[in-house]
A and B are shown apart, each in its own frame.
Chain A
Amino acid sequence: MPNKNGFILLKPTSVNVTGSSPTATINANGSVSFTNASNISLNGVFSSDYHNYRVLFSGKWSVNNGSGTWYMRLRSGGVTDATASSYNTQYLYVYSSGISSSRGASSQAGSITFESYNRFTNILDFYAPFIAAPTAYRIYAQESSPVLQDTVGTHNIASSYDGFNVFGGSPSVDMISGRIAVYGFRK
């Protein structure tokens, strides 16, 4: 049987972080560990080597425990795209006995994590972000209680992106410590 790994851990070329005395380190294998961050960007992690990607975003609130919401934006050459209404998102929300859904267009995607009082891990899937075409994404998000809040969406700008940004939207004092790992699906 031919042996070819299909799911590859990737290493960003650089990382940017802001927060309250934040730190961010690219580990030897490629994951990014960070502390006290409110805004983290991974650069140079999407390329022509792969079409589709999976991101594991793990952490725990270090400041303002669990009372905020975080979002995602695509990024190219160190510039984050925040074009109004460019992230078209469908939400699925399952909370206790309730199931609801809604759709919207925004300058950001998500939430990618929200109101988590405990350690969380959520999954972000990106479909063809490096190709100069709209990028589809799916976010598997779950938080304390527990609550399920998934989103699917499309970023409707036909450009190539080599990275992404995650950030606390409101309140701005949200700080998370954790780890981000990006994986590419072999073509």
Chain B
Amino acid sequence: MPDLINGLVAITPTSVTRTGTGSTASINSDGSVVFGSCNTLTVNGVFSSAYDNYLINIRYLYVSGLDYLSMRLSSNGTDSVSGYAYQRFEADGTNFVAARSMSETSGLIGYGSMTESGVSVYLYSPFLVETTSYRSIGATYYTGSGFYEPIGEHLVSSSYNGFTLRDLITPRTKSGLLTVFGFNQ
């Protein structure tokens, strides 16, 4: 077998910032980010020319309430606040939900409640001066378990080196842990 090249590389952010009363966020020695009671969490310096595509693994729960979890791309800590489009695809009990939203201020990536949830966000070409796309695959429990697996695009051809986690509707406090991986190429 030839020399093995690691296909997924864990990336250590250069910094993290957050909002929310009593919020905390720190970078662990392995590059993962642990956060507590954050309204928003911005992860800086994770996207670069080294990789085109990324996987962001997130486990999270809301300290109170529930909301859709969303993401904004950021450049040097400044969020891009326009140009997001997404297609919802949900299965909740016996119901399917499909809906499309255009010209949004953030991209939907999942759903959250006061029970632990998880989502894997495949983020494609955020650092390239191209449009960015993503796919979310996750698991959430509210009144029961459900699929909340949106796909989306950010239709602005700029380069971004980070992202911000936030809520789609109302600022909520969230806690959890995330890791960013780059797909070697």
| Per-position binary interface string of chain B over residues 139-173, scored 1 when its CB falls under 8 Å from any chain A CB and 0 otherwise | 00000000000011101000000000000000000
Contact A145 B7 (CB under 8 A): no
The B89-133 residues at the A interface (CB cut-off 8 A) are 89, 96, 98-100, 122, 124-125, 128, 130-133
Chain A residues with CB below 8 A from B131, complex form = 118-119
Chain B residues with CB below 8 A from A99, complex form = 89, 96, 98
Chain B residues with CB below 8 A from A144, complex form = 153
How long is the Cα–Cα vector from A95 to B133 in the complex, in angstroms?
Answer: 16
Contact A148 B155 (CB under 8 A): no
Main SS at interface, chain A: strand
A120 at the interface (CB under 8 A from B): yes
Q: Which of A24-32, A128-136, A165-173 contacts B (4 or more CB under 8 A)?
A: A24-32
The A56-79 residues at the B interface (CB cut-off 8 A) are 56, 58, 60
Chain A residues with CB below 8 A from B185, complex form = 9, 27, 29, 31, 179, 181
Q: Which of A120, A140, A148 contacts B87 (CB 8 A)?
A: A148
How long is the Cα–Cα vector from A31 to B51 in the complex, in angstroms?
Answer: 11
Chain A residues with CB below 8 A from B135, complex form = 123, 140, 142
Contact B5 A58 (CB under 8 A): no
Q: Which of A5, A118, A123, A179 contacts B153 (CB 8 A)?
A: A118
B2 at the interface (CB under 8 A from A): yes
| Chain A to chain B contacts (Cβ below 8 Å), 16 pairs | A5-B7, A7-B7, A7-B8, A9-B6, A9-B7, A9-B185, A58-B53, A94-B87, A118-B130, A118-B155, A119-B130, A120-B133, A121-B52, A121-B124, A142-B87, A145-B87
User: A99-B98, A121-B122, A146-B152 given. 11 additional CB < 8 A pairs?
Assistant: A9-B7, A9-B184, A29-B184, A95-B100, A96-B100, A99-B96, A118-B130, A118-B131, A119-B132, A120-B124, A142-B151
